[in-house]
Amino acid sequence: MALGAIALAALIVTIPLFLILGTVVYRGLPALTWSFLTQIPKPVGEAGGGMANAIGGSIMILAMASVIGVPLGVGAGVFLAEYGRNQWGNIVRFTADVLNGVPSIVIGMTAWALVVVTQRHFSLMAGSVALGIMMIPTISRTTEEVLLLVPQAIREAALGLGIPQWRTTLSVVIRTARSGIVTSIMLAFARVAGETAPLMFTAFGNQYWNLKPDQPTAALPLQIFSYAVMPQEQAHQQAWTGALVLIAMIMFTIIVFRLISSRGIMKGAS
Amino acid sequence: MGIKSSFLGDAAFRSIVITCALALVAIVGLVLFELLSQSRLSMSKFGFKFLTKTIWDPVAEDFGALPFIFGTLVSSLVALVLAVPLSLGTALFLTEICPRRIRPVLSLLVELLAAIPSVIYGLWGFFVMAPFLRVYVEPFLARYFAWTGLFGGPKYGYGMLAAGAILAIMILPIISSITREVIIAIPRQQREAALALGATQWEMLRMAVLRNARAGILGAVILGLGRAFGETMAVTMLIGNRPEIAKSLFAPGYSLASVIANEFTEAVGDVYLSALMEGALVLFALTLIVNALARLLIWSITRGTPARALA
């Protein structure tokens, strides 16, 4: 009886996933046309138009966020695995967990205070700073885990051959753990790709094309949100189709990388 | 390769890597610093009463955060009540009962739940779940459970119940995943001992697994609570955005993250902005305390387990 309840719980949990994905596909597919992917939004109330600027903006913001997040994250992960098996490492580890738990909107506000207030305008750069900060703890923790899985014997063999420690870490250990690190980067990427709140006061959104780092930029999650809360039916339709594009991009990334390795999105997400 | 150059290389690499780690610490310090310095104006004007006042009046520049703290806490609590039994069941099923062939599929499905962006949860909740609540669920609850006092008032669909429900779906994966890690960390001998003494499978799970993992499971639940505190977009679209404290779960409310999301870009005046910043500081403090507590509890169970076992 109790076992049946447990199995039922597991079954119930999968229902929302199919409901949500199904609804997004059902409502979003009708308007998913080539013009949706290539045009910018039309004035409110007019039919047609698309989210090309949001898709392009999102990709640009994420690319620049990776420039900030990936080096710092991997570097911190290397520190924790190779030099951090001590009290200092515990402090850094704890701090990474703290940063992981900070609500995304608070990180957005910090980026606002640091970048937007200083520059006196919203910008793509500010959005990238916010998302980059969010990537760091995830990447560093999973990098640490992956590096720790490399057997100590490999390090010792390299050192025994006369290779200096820095070269060992770089060319031997990291190379061995390479695919795990790439996977964690992609998964961190997929996680922040859907973030809206940190972009609200940094990249701010834009009705037109912009890929320049010092101007406000449209982003897919932001655009979905603004359309969802408008009263027009066309806007809602755009929101559903945008959601379909966003979810397709994220799910594709996750499923591909999950299949390649056994690492999941939950690692480092806790 | 000479000794000198390898020393140089070692020192250089080491400092680069240490700099990255320090950058992480510096960022957290920056977050705290900015929150504190931006809310100083509001802290000096309202003092501790900020946490207990219920007025939120931008025109008179009088701000109190109690309705938002209430909204954040209650919506997260509702989410816990709904999510914990389901997460525990899922975790137990996946680790103990699930046939080996289905396990990767099922655990992938639960993970995909975690991958859905918050704004899409909000979109679905807004257009699909809330009307469903209004038409089917809330009348049902009002008819049979009105004696609890929690289900009175007009049925909008949007409100504390809707926010709690969507939060429950969102925190399910994290509670279930950490619980799985904790359950795996319980030594095999415990299970075998219980079975050897004649326990049924359920009795074995209850005695050997759940009892030993108690602290860790509590940690997983508290971690889920912390995640629920910080959720912004889905809650903003479902909670009704009314800064009032009400007893009924059908009533609209407002959470700390939602008020910031809604009003930050339209805040006029330094006091308004500073009050919102102070709200963010309160939110930060809440999540900090909750996460630290959760980490401690989880670590007490999983400590000593090699990383490979948890992967």
Structural domain for B75, as ranges? 3-310
Which ipTM did the prediction report?
A: 0.90
Residue A269 has pLDDT above 70, yes or no: no
Closest Cα in chain A to B166: A16
Looking at chain B, the whole-number percentage of residues with pLDDT higher than 90 is 54
Express each pLDDT in A109-126 by its tens digit: 999 999 999 999 999 999
Q: Is B113 exposed, middle or buried (0-12, 13-18, 19+ CB in 10 A)?
A: buried
Which pLDDT value is given to residue A263?
52
Contact across the interface for B111 and A254, Cβ inside 8 Å: yes
Which pLDDT value is given to residue A268?
41
* Separation between Cα atoms, residue B76 and residue B228, nearest integer Å: 5
* Separation between Cα atoms, residue A200 and residue A12, nearest integer Å: 34
Residue A207 has pLDDT above 70, yes or no: yes
* CB atoms near residue B44 (< 10 Å): 9
Cβ burial A215-226 (10 Å sphere, 16+ → b, else e): bbbbbbbbbbbb
Which of the four pLDDT bands, split at 50, 70 and 90, describes residue B306?
Answer: very low
The answer as to whether A14 is a domain residue is: no
Residue B310 has pLDDT above 60, yes or no: no
DSSP result, chain A: -HHHHHHHHHHHHHHHHHHHHHHHHHHHGGG--HHHHH-PBPPTT-S-B--HHHHHHHHHHHHHHHHHHHHHHHHHHHIIIII-SSHHHHHHHHHHHHHHHS-HHHHHHHHIIIIIHHHTS--HHHHHHHHHHHHHHHHHHHHHHHHHHS-HHHHHHHHHTT--HHHIIIIIIHHHTHHHHHHHHHHHHHHHHT--HHHHTTTB--SS----TTS-B--HHHHHHHHHTSS-HHHHHHHHHHHHHHHHHHHHHHHHHHHHSS--TTTTT-
Q: What contacts B282, CB < 8 A, 6 or more positions away?
A: B51, B65, B69, B256
Which pLDDT value is given to residue A219?
93
C-alpha of A42 from chain center: 28
Contact across the interface for B121 and A264, Cβ inside 8 Å: no
The answer as to whether A68 is a domain residue is: yes
Express each pLDDT in A59-110 by its tens digit: 999 999 999 999 999 999 999 998 888 888 989 999 998 999 999 999 999 9
Express each pLDDT in B12-46 by its tens digit: 999 999 999 999 999 999 999 999 999 999 888 88
CA distance to partner chain A, nearest, from residue B88 (Å): 8
Contact across the interface for B24 and A137, Cβ inside 8 Å: yes
Quote the Cα angle for A258-A263-A265, to 5°. Answer: 75
Cβ-Cβ contacts under 8 Å between A and B: the total is 276
Q: Which of B224, B207, B216 is nearest to B76 (CA)?
A: B224
Residue from A1, A6, A131 to probe the interface with B (highest B Cβ count within 10 Å): A6
Average of per-residue pLDDT across A223-247: 92
The answer as to whether A12 is a domain residue is: no
Which pLDDT value is given to residue B308?
39
Which pLDDT value is given to residue A265?
46
The answer as to whether A207 is a domain residue is: yes
* Separation between Cα atoms, residue A126 and residue A128, nearest integer Å: 5
CATH number, domain of A157, equals 1.10.3720.10
CATH number, domain of B64, equals 1.10.3720.10
Express each pLDDT in B89-115 by its tens digit: 999 999 888 888 888 888 889 888 988
Looking at chain A, the whole-number percentage of residues with pLDDT higher than 70 is 96
Contact across the interface for A9 and B90, Cβ inside 8 Å: yes
Cα maximum dimension of chain B: 84
The answer as to whether A2 is a domain residue is: no
Query: Which residue's entry shows tokens 């704004």?
Result: B119
Among candidates B85, B122, B173 on the partner chain, residue whose Cβ is nearest the Cβ of A9:
B85
Among candidates A20, A105, A140 on the partner chain, residue whose Cβ is nearest the Cβ of B116:
A20
Count: domains in chain B: 1
Residue A50 has pLDDT above 90, yes or no: no
Q: Look up residue B178 and give its two tokens.
A: 């950490």
CA distance to partner chain B, nearest, from residue A97 (Å): 8
Among candidates B28, B97, B223 on the partner chain, residue whose Cβ is nearest the Cβ of A98:
B28
Contact across the interface for A106 and B201, Cβ inside 8 Å: no
Contact across the interface for B23 and A78, Cβ inside 8 Å: no
DSSP result, B101-120: TTHHHHHHHHHHHHHS-HHH
Which 44-83 residues of chain B touch chain A by CB within 8 A?
Answer: none
At residue A204, φ and ψ (nearest 5 deg) are: 70, -30
Packed helices A87-101 and B214-230: angle between N→C axes, nearest 10 degrees:
50
Among candidates A75, A114, A200 on the partner chain, residue whose Cβ is nearest the Cβ of B34:
A114
Q: Look up residue B177 and give its two tokens.
A: 């995943």
The answer as to whether A121 is a domain residue is: yes
Among candidates B14, B119, B288 on the partner chain, residue whose Cβ is nearest the Cβ of A221:
B119
B10 close to A (CB below 8 A): yes
**Residues of chain A with C-beta less than 8 angstroms from the C-beta of B34:** 109-110, 113-114
The mean pLDDT of chain B is 89
Which pLDDT value is given to residue A69?
94
Express each pLDDT in B215-250 by its tens digit: 889 999 999 999 999 999 999 999 999 998 998 999
The answer as to whether A137 is a domain residue is: yes
Of B160-169, B182-191, B222-231, the one with minimum mean pLDDT is: B182-191
β-bridge pairing B62-63 and B56-57: antiparallel
Residue A262 has pLDDT above 80, yes or no: no
The answer as to whether A42 is a domain residue is: no
Count: domains in chain A: 1
Structural domain for A149, as ranges? 51-260
Which of the four pLDDT bands, split at 50, 70 and 90, describes residue B304?
Answer: low
DSSP result, B171-231: HHHHHHHHHHHHHHTS-HHHHHHHHHTT--HHHHIIIIIITTTHHHHHHHHHHHHHHHHH-
Among candidates B14, B20, B169 on the partner chain, residue whose Cβ is nearest the Cβ of A72:
B20
